[in-house]
Amino acid sequence: MNFTSKKPAFEHLRKRWVAKHRTLTNKVLEKHGSIGRQLALGGIGGLMLLATPGTGLLSAPHLLASGGQILKDKDTNILLANELSGKVPKEMRALNPQEDEEIAAILTKNFGFKIAPSLEGKRLNRTYGMIGGEQHLYRYPGDNLFQHGDNAVDFAMYGSAGIAPHLGAWGYFAPSQTEFSEKDKMRERYYIAVQTFLAPGFAERTAEYRDFFKFRKMVVVNPETGQSVVTDIGDAGPAEWTGKHLGGSPEVMNYLGLAEGPRQGAVLYFFIDDPGDTIPLGPVKVKDTQS
């Protein structure tokens, strides 16, 4: 058996085992609920051992999508990264108005929906800053960390981030588990925390700004790779003393390519003008045809 080739002979068996493991895990979860989640985690160790040599699944979060689907690449938007090259400053600073408008125009062209540095006369303190990894948030009364994974593989991907001890800035995403919707689920999954309290005019019109920012959609872009995510503002923070300007959910950090190592990096973050709520939350690719 040749273990030195790019496609070793055991690769086919590994793929079959992983697929079977995922199927059995999902059956356990469906039958036994939250208890099944804990039991299923016992089989994760074997799944880790059958990952690509030298790269466990947990150490390579880009390889798995939410729901346990294996990605074929890191979801990079190379064309977008190339277009942003030279437009985004190397030093970590706030963009000037001209840079804001130029980059917003590039993002609008690439994604096919309206992106802007400000909406309704409101803007954040900056559109380019350092993002850091955040924990999961409580979504409804009685929620717990085990409920945040759709299956064992999903939980293995994102469960290690833990769950924040306090509610997000807007409280629960739903008033109860029975009223918890798919929309609520996606809002927590792809949330970001931004420094709403530093927005120009926030101190003078706190209630107005609070309502404006609640679940407001933004696109977050890793300018180095083009990896991008449509997110919503689900929390306020981080504090100024941290040196970070915004935070991202475990899923957001994964799709930005920033889930490993220090779990932070420089990103662009702009408002999405979506009054009809038609732009779905989650990873976003550039349009197939660029104009």
Q: 119 with 157, same domain?
A: yes
User: Using only C-alpha atoms, what is the Rg of the chain?
Assistant: 20
Instruction: Confirm whether 17 is domain-assigned.
Output: yes
pLDDT in tens, 200-256: 999 999 999 999 999 999 999 999 999 999 999 999 999 999 999 999 999 999 999
Q: 86 with 25, same domain?
A: no
- Helix H, strand E, coil C: the string for 57-81 is CCCCHHHECCCCCECCCCCCCHHHH
Q: 50 with 94, same domain?
A: no
pLDDT in tens, 143-157: 999 999 888 888 888
Q: 115 with 207, same domain?
A: yes
Instruction: Confirm whether 68 is domain-assigned.
Output: no
Look-up of token digits 């717990």: 144
Instruction: Confirm whether 62 is domain-assigned.
Output: no
Is residue 206 within 8 Å of residue 247, measured between CB atoms? no
Residue 153, pLDDT score: 84
Instruction: Confirm whether 200 is domain-assigned.
Output: yes
Residue 57, pLDDT score: 36
Count of domains in the chain? 2
- Tell me the pTM: 0.76
Q: 170 with 39, same domain?
A: no
Instruction: Confirm whether 94 is domain-assigned.
Output: yes
Domain that holds residue 217: 78-283
Instruction: Confirm whether 291 is domain-assigned.
Output: no
Residue type, 157: M
Q: 227 with 144, same domain?
A: yes
Is residue 169 within 8 Å of residue 138, measured between CB atoms? no
Q: From start to end of 210-263, where are the E strands?
A: 217-221, 228-236, 246-248
Closest CA to 61 of 274, 275, 290, 252: 252
Q: 164 with 201, same domain?
A: yes
pLDDT in tens, 35-75: 444 444 444 443 433 333 333 333 333 333 333 333 334 55
Q: 148 with 272, same domain?
A: yes
Look-up of token digits 């802007």: 116
Instruction: Confirm whether 104 is domain-assigned.
Output: yes
Q: Which residues, listed in sequence order, are joined to residue 283 by a DSSP beta bridge?
A: 229
pLDDT in tens, 105-146: 999 999 999 999 999 999 999 999 999 999 999 999 999 999
Q: 22 with 102, same domain?
A: no
Residue 139, pLDDT score: 98
Q: 39 with 94, same domain?
A: no
Q: 195 with 145, same domain?
A: yes
